[in-house]
Amino acid sequence: MLWEICRFSRSVKIIPLPERKEKLMRLPRAIIKLTEAFERLPGIGPKTAQRLTFYLLRTPQNFLEGFAQAILELKEKTKVCSLCHSIDETDPCAICADPTRDQAMICVVEEPLDVLAIEKSGAYRGLYHVLGGVINPLDNIGPEQLHIFDLLPRLKSGKIRELILATNPTMEGEATAMFITRLVKNSGIKAQSLHLTRIGRGLPTGADLQYADDLTLKKALEGRKEY
């Protein structure tokens, strides 16, 4: 049936569909395209996506050009470190390449932003290992999808004295820390030569390292316990 009641009219008026289509306001394709792109970002719903698009529409052209350039350069000018899987401009990253860092300590974190948070706290001078997430069966993320197994060759070098498990104190973070502990213990690496520790004190359960303040993070690192 090609007839529909026009809802915008107070009096019930019946108009044929082709005519109704012409009466609806059509957004320019560029606006629709950008709104849809924003909608694909985490935490952005259709309304926020539209708001951001219209905000950008009001900004000067040179701002938009700089913004677009920054997006283009995001992947071109960043590298994933082949040793620790953190993000930097070089591979190996500045931390892995720094001989003044304590080469006998590895701190295992979920994301590159956790590295940044710990670096900001100034409480740690060792190396890192970025997992790229946590084990989460509900999202189909198993240890194979993370940088867990390539931690073992780094430990087997025999130079590592301490492995700090600094995944978030969430259910998934704890499960991931447990998995790594079991993996390391079953790998034949001598327990006497390697200490496995877990950060904790000061960080409430369910907390996110990235949002913890410097002092809490410093205390959590200093208060790490044998795991």
| Residue ranges in contact with Zn ion by CB under 5 A | 81, 83-84, 86, 92-93, 96
Residue 117 CB, nearest approach to Zn ion (Å): 16
Residue 77 CB, nearest approach to Zn ion (Å): 17
d(CA 220, CA 222): 6
In this structure, the strands spanning 87-88 and 79-80 are antiparallel
Reference 164, options 104, 95, 83; nearest CA is 104
* Of 88 and 172, CB closest to Zn ion: 88
Q: Can you read off the two tokens belonging to residue 202?
A: 């000061």
Residue 106 CB, nearest approach to Zn ion (Å): 11
How is 36-105 classified by DSSP, letter by letter? HHHHTSTT--HHHHHHHHHHHHHS-HHHHHHHHHHHHHHHHT-EE-TTT--EESSSS-TTTT-TTSEEEE
Residue 147 CB, nearest approach to Zn ion (Å): 11
* Of 96 and 146, CB closest to Zn ion: 96
Q: Can you read off the two tokens belonging to residue 13?
A: 């008026």
H helix and E strand count, the chain: 8, 9
Residue 88 CB, nearest approach to Zn ion (Å): 7
* Of 93 and 117, CB closest to Zn ion: 93
* Of 92 and 202, CB closest to Zn ion: 92
In this structure, the strands spanning 102-109 and 79-80 are unpaired
* Of 82 and 205, CB closest to Zn ion: 82
